[in-house]
Amino acid sequence: MSTPFQDQLEIFDNSFPDREYEIEINCPEFTSVCPKTGQPDFGTLIFRYVPDKSCVELKSLKLYLQSFRDQGIFYENITNRILDDFVAACKPRRASLETRWTPRGGIFSVIRVHYEAKS
């Protein structure tokens, strides 16, 4: 299912499509808004993926992530939504997204989602 921001993600051809290798992308300044309180949420996003025919272009990923700055969305929903959009854009062999959220009221959350292409 496509989301309004998905078309912001750009890709480029993988120069080594026959080699299996992992790319890790760390995004330490992610922000969104808590839908219950309206307060800002701050998190670190860690993408890990094994590309197939294409890779994600980093500037487009940055702009895509910035589009969530004013979105009221729960941690679990945003983590799954971002991975779904990422997979739809670059169609990796495997991908995971880990989101680590700064403490609020003495509690912090880590959300992990995974994707593996069907053979």
Asked if 90 is an active-site residue, the reply is no
Q: For this structure, is 7 an active site residue? A: no
Of the listed 41, 55, 85, 90, which one is catalytic?
Answer: 41
DSSP string computed for 22-61: -EEEEEEEEEEE-TTT--EEEEEEEEEEE-SSEEE-HHHH
Burial class (CB in 10 A: 0-12, 13-18, 19+), 90: buried
Instruction: Choose the catalytic residue: 7, 18, 27, 34.
Output: 34
Residues serving a catalytic function are 34, 41
